[in-house]
C-alpha cells in the first residue's frame, strides 16, 4: 500500500491503483519514461489510441525505485519522476523540467479516529480540488484531460504544422486535428531540456497557457504520454525518432526541380512542358500529373481519352532521369466502377446515421481496413506501376471534410473521433512499396516518416505572410519527425502571374525552396483555362501556366540561376539527407538545434540551418533593401557569395538583392572549402 493505493512493482514499471484510476509509470528505454492512466482497473484497448509502431528508446528498460518521505522516486537514466500520491514531477539530472498540475487538500481529515492512519504530506494544500488527470463520461463517450503547470519562460518547438508565424508554441492553443494546410503531430522539444509525446490519436486540443498546460482528448479512455530527456536538442530528437522511426534514404535523383501545376490535362501537354525544359538546359527530377486525370473518383486509373500512351512517355522520361508522379485522392464517387465493392466491404469511412459522404458529396476510403489496402494496392499496381509510374502524391490526406465532425463517423478501428489523427499514417503506409521513393502527402502522423512521407503544407495562399508561415512550419515539421517537407512555391491560391508583387513573391519563395528538402513548383495560377471535356479527366478546368518561363524573362533568368545553384548543392544536400536517415535529425533546423547554448538562437524565428553548415536567411518581406541577420556565437561565419567573414554572436545589417538571399557557412566547414565553386553567381550565370 502507498497512500491508500494498491501498488504493483515490476523491473521496468510500477502500477498504482485506487478506486478511480489505474496509473502505470514505465521505463521506456534510455532516459525516457512513459505514463499511462485509465479510469478502469486495467488498460483495456490501450493500443487503439496511441502510436501504432512505438519502439523503446534504446535498450535500457528498468526503473530504479526509491521510497522516501511518503514519495516514490522512479528513475530511468538521467530522467527521474517523483510521485506524491497525486501528481508526477519530472527531473532531468535533479532539475525540475515538467510537473503535473494538482490543487488538492492535505490528506489530514478532521474526522475523529482516522487522523493517525493518514500520512501528512509536506505539500501546499488547496481547496480547489483539481487533479491532474481527469476522465468524464457522457453517453458512453469518455473525454480525458491532463494538466501540467504552466511555464512562462519556456520555449516549445514542434507540434506539426500550423498556419501561423509563431515558432514558439508556448502560450498558444492548438487543435489536435488535421485540416487542409494543418498537420497535428503532438510532440515537442522544450528549452528546459526534455521532449514530450502526447500519445493519443483522438481529436482534441492543447492549451499552453501561462498558468496551466492542458491536453484534452474528446474520445479516449486512456491518458498516455512520454517524457524523454537529453543533454542537447539533438539528443532529444534522436530519442524521439528512435521511438517513432527515421526516414529512409531518399533517391538522390529526386533532389532537383519538381514541376507541377493545377493541372496538366493530356499526355501531349506534359510532353511539351518536359521538352521545353530540356531545350532550356534544365533537367527535371519530377513532373507531376495532378488530380482528375482519372475516369472517376475511386477508379485509380488514367482516362485514356486524354492520357493515351502515358506509359510510353513515362518510360521515355525515365531514361533521361525524369520521373512522372501522379496524384491520388482517397475519394469515391457514385460513378466509380468500384463504388459498390467499396461500400459492400466497408472499405469507406461510414456515417453513424448512414450518410457516408464526407467531402464534396464524395465518400472517402478507410485505409485502416486491411481489405481496403489490399484492393487499393492492386489498383495501383495494375494502373500505375505497370505503366512505369511509381511516384505518388497522396492528396486529401487529413482527410479533408466538408464539415470537420469526426464524431459522426466510423472506421475499421472504431469511432473515427477516437483514432482520426492516424488517417495519414494508414494512407502513406497503404501506398508505400519502395521506401526510397518519397510519397508527397498533405498531412502526416507519428511513424509516417518511416514510409517515405514527404509532407507539404497544403493549399496555402499566395502572400508574403504565407511565406513567413512556411519557414516556421518547415522547422516545426522537422522537429516533429517529418524531415522530408516541401511547400507550393508561390503559394497555391490566388497567384496572379501578371502581378509584379506576385513575381517578387515567387522569386523569394523559390530562393527559400532551393535550400529546402524538395524544390517544387506548384500552384493554382490565374486565369484558368476552360475544361476540355464533359466527363472523366476532362471535367475540371486548369490553372494558368506555372513553369519557370511563365512569369517573364527576368523571373526566368533568376529562377534558372537558382536551379543551377541547387544542382551545385547536390552533394551537400545528400549528406544532410544521409544524416537525417542515420540520426533522425531535421533537414531544415532552427538555429537552436545547432547552437543550444546561444540564447539568441532560441529566439530567432526567421532564419534556419540547412544541415549543420549553412545558415539561410530567407527574404520574407516585399521590396526590402536590407535586413538584420543574427549569426550564432562560438563560430566565425562566411558570406558564401563574397567571402566576407563575420564574428558570431552579433546581428549584422546585410544588403539584399532580388537575385539571391543571404546565406552564410561556418568558417572551416566542408562546404566552406568549396564556397567559391558552389555560390559564384557570375559563374552560375554562364551555365
For the beta carbon of residue 241, count every other beta carbon within 10 angstroms.
23
Q: Is the peptide bond before 623 cis (omega within 30 degrees of 0)?
A: no
Alpha-carbon distance of 124 to 103, in angstroms, equals 8
- Grid cell listed for 134: 481527469
Torsion of CA 176, 180, 183, 184, to 10 degrees: 10
Using CA atoms, how far apart are residues 503 and 658, in angstroms rounded to an integer?
Answer: 11
Residue pair 143/136 in contact by the 8 Å Cβ criterion: yes
Sign of the torsion angle spanned by Cα atoms 46, 47, 49, 51: positive
pLDDT for the residue numbered 685: 41
C-alpha to C-alpha distance for 411 and 422, rounded to whole angstroms? 11
| E strand intervals along 519-644 | 519-521, 525-529, 542-544, 588-589, 608-610, 614-616, 626-631, 636-639
pTM score of the predicted model: 0.95
Low-confidence ranges of the chain (pLDDT < 70): 1-3, 44-45, 60, 106-124, 435, 681-687
> How much of the chain is in helix, strand and coil states, percent to nearest 5?
25, 30, 45
Domains, in order of start, for the chain: 6-229 (2.60.40.1760), 252-328+377-396+434-583 (3.20.20.80), 588-676 (2.60.40.1180)
For residues 396 and 428, is the Cβ–Cβ distance under 8 A?
no
What pLDDT, on a 0 to 100 scale, did the predictor assign at position 683? Answer: 42
> What pLDDT was estimated at residue 1?
61
- Report the side by side order of strands in the sheet with 645-647: 588-589, 608-610, 614-616, 663-666, 636-639, 645-647
**pLDDT tens digits, residue range 197-233?**
999 999 999 999 999 999 999 999 999 999 999 999 9
- Measured CA to CA, the distance from residue 545 to residue 325 in angstroms comes to 18
Strand, coil or helix: what is 582? helix
Contact between 392 and 440 under an 8 Å Cβ cutoff? The reply is yes
Measure the CA–CA gap between 507 and 658, rounded to whole angstroms.
Answer: 8
**Which stretches of 480-552 are DSSP H helices?**
500-514
pLDDT value of residue 651 = 98
Tens digit of each residue's pLDDT (9 = 90 or more) over 534-553: 999 999 999 999 999 999 99
* Per-residue pLDDT, 681: 61
The catalytic site residues sit at 395, 398, 459
Model confidence over 428-485: pLDDT tens digits?
A: 999 997 767 999 999 999 999 999 999 999 999 999 999 999 999 999 999 999 999 9
10 Å Cβ neighbour count for 357? 18
At which residue does the C-alpha cell 517513432 appear? 244
Q: How far is CA 469 from CA 109, 160, 324, 509, 596, in A?
A: 54, 13, 29, 12, 23
Who contacts 340 (Cβ-Cβ below 8 Å, separation ≥6)? none
Q: How long a stretch of residues is the chain?
A: 687
Give one DSSP letter per residue of 166-216, joined into a string: ----TT-EEEES-BTTBEEEEEEEETTSEEEEE---SSEEEEE-SSEEEEE
- Residue showing cell 473521433: 417
Q: How many CB atoms lie within 10 A of CB 351?
A: 15
The candidate with the shortest Cα–Cα distance to 221, out of 101, 148, 140, is: 140
Q: Count each helix (H run) and each strand (E run) in the chain, helices first.
A: 17, 42
For strands 284-289 and 257-259, give the pairing. Answer: parallel
**Please, which residues have CB within 8 angstroms of residue 121's CB and are 6 or more apart in sequence?**
70, 84, 85, 106, 107
What are 296-328's pLDDT values in tens digits? 999 999 999 999 999 999 999 999 999 999 999
What DSSP character marks residue 242?
H
Pairwise CA distance, residues 454 & 288, whole Å: 14
Amino acid at each position: 500500500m502507498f497512500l491508500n493505493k494498491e501498488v504493483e512493482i515490476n523491473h521496468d514499471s510500477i502500477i498504482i491503483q485506487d478506486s478511480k484510476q489505474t496509473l502505470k509509470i514505465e521505463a521506456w528505454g534510455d532516459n525516457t519514461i512513459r505514463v499511462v492512466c485509465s479510469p478502469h482497473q486495467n488498460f483495456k484497448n490501450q493500443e487503439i489510441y496511441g502510436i501504432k509502431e512505438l519502439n523503446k528508446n534504446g535498450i535500457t528498460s528498468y526503473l530504479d525505485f526509491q521510497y522516501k518521505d511518503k514519495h516514490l522516486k522512479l528513475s530511468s537514466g538521467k530522467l527521474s519522476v517523483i510521485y506524491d500520491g497525486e501528481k508526477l514531477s519530472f527531473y532531468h539530472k535533479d532539475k525540475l523540467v515538467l510537473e503535473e498540475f494538482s490543487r488538492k487538500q492535505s490528506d489530514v481529515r478532521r474526522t475523529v479516529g482516522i487522523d493517525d492512519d493518514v500520512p501528512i504530506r509536506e505539500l501546499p494544500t488547496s481547496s480547489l480540488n483539481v487533479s491532474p488527470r481527469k476522465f468524464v463520461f457522457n453517453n458512453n463517450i469518455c473525454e480525458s484531460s491532463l494538466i501540467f503547470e504552466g511555464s512562462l519562460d519556456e520555449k516549445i518547438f514542434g507540434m506539426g504544422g500550423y498556419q501561423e508565424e509563431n515558432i514558439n508554441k508556448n502560450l498558444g492553443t492548438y487543435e489536435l486535428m488535421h485540416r487542409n494546410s494543418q498537420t497535428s503531430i503532438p510532440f515537442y522539444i522544450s528549452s528546459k531540456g526534455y521532449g514530450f509525446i502526447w500519445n493519443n490519436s483522438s481529436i482534441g486540443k492543447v492549451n499552453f497557457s501561462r498558468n496551466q498546460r492542458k491536453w484534452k482528448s474528446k474520445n479516449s479512455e486512456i491518458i498516455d504520454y512520454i517524457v524523454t530527456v537529453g543533454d542537447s536538442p539533438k539528443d532529444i530528437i534522436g530519442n524521439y525518432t528512435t521511438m517513432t522511426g527515421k526516414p529512409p534514404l531518399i533517391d538522390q535523383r529526386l533532389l532537383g526541380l519538381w514541376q507541377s501545376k493545377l493541372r496538366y490535362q493530356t499526355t501531349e501537354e506534359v510532353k511539351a512542358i518536359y521538352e521545353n525544359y530540356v531545350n532550356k538546359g534544365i533537367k527535371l527530377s519530377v513532373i507531376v500529373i495532378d488530380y482528375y486525370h482519372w475516369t472517376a473518383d475511386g477508379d485509380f486509373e488514367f482516362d485514356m481519352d486524354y492520357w493515351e500512351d502515358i506509359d510510353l512517355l513515362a518510360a521515355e522520361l525515365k531514361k533521361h532521369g525524369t520521373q512522372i508522379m501522379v496524384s491520388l485522392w482517397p475519394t469515391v464517387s457514385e460513378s466509380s466502377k468500384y463504388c459498390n465493392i467499396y461500400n459492400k466491404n466497408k472499405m469507406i469511412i461510414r456515417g453513424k446515421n448512414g450518410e457516408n459522404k464526407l467531402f464534396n458529396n464524395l465518400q472517402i476510403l478507410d485505409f485502416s481496413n486491411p481489405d481496403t489496402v489490399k484492393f487499393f494496392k492492386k489498383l495501383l499496381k495494375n494502373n500505375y506501376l505497370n505503366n512505369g509510374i511509381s511516384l505518388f502524391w497522396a492528396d486529401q490526406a487529413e482527410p479533408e471534410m466538408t464539415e470537420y465532425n469526426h464524431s459522426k463517423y466510423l472506421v475499421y478501428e472504431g469511432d473515427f473521433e477516437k483514432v482520426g489523427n492516424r488517417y495519414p499514417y494508414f494512407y502513406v503506409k497503404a501506398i508505400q512499396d519502395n521506401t526510397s521513393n518519397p510519397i508527397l502527402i498533405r498531412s502526416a502522423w507519428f511513424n509516417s516518416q518511416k514510409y517515405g512521407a514527404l509532407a507539404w503544407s497544403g493549399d496555402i495562399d499566395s502572400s508574403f505572410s504565407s511565406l513567413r508561415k512556411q519557414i516556421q512550419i518547415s522547422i516545426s515539421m522537422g522537429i516533429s519527425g517529418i524531415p522530408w517537407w516541401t511547400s507550393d512555391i508561390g503559394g497555391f491560391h490566388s497567384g496572379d502571374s501578371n502581378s509584379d508583387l506576385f513575381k517578387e513573391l515567387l522569386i523569394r519563395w523559390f530562393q527559400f525552396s532551393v535550400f529546402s528538402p524538395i524544390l517544387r513548383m506548384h500552384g493554382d495560377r490565374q486565369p484558368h483555362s476552360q475544361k476540355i471535356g464533359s466527363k472523366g479527366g476532362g471535367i475540371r478546368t486548369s490553372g494558368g501556366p506555372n513553369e519557370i518561363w511563365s512569369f517573364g524573362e527576368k523571373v526566368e533568368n533568376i529562377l534558372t540561376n537558382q536551379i543551377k545553384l541547387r544542382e551545385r548543392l547536390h552533394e551537400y544536400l545528400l549528406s544532410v539527407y544521409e544524416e537525417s536517415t542515420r540520426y533522425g535529425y531535421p533537414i531544415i533546423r532552427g538555429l537552436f538545434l545547432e547552437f543550444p547554448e546561444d540564447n539568441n538562437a532560441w529566439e530567432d524565428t526567421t532564419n534556419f540551418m540547412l544541415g549543420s553548415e549553412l545558415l539561410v536567411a530567407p527574404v520574407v518581406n516585399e521590396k526590402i533593401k536590407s535586413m538584420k541577420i543574427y549569426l550564432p556565437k562560438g563560430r566565425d561565419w562566411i558570406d558564401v557569395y563574397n567571402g566576407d567573414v563575420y564574428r558570431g554572436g552579433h546581428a549584422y545589417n546585410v544588403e539584399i538583392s532580388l537575385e539571391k538571399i543571404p546565406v552564410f557557412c561556418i568558417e572551416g566547414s566542408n562546404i566552406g572549402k568549396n564556397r567559391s565553386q558552389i555560390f559564384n553567381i557570375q559563374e552560375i550565370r554562364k551555365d
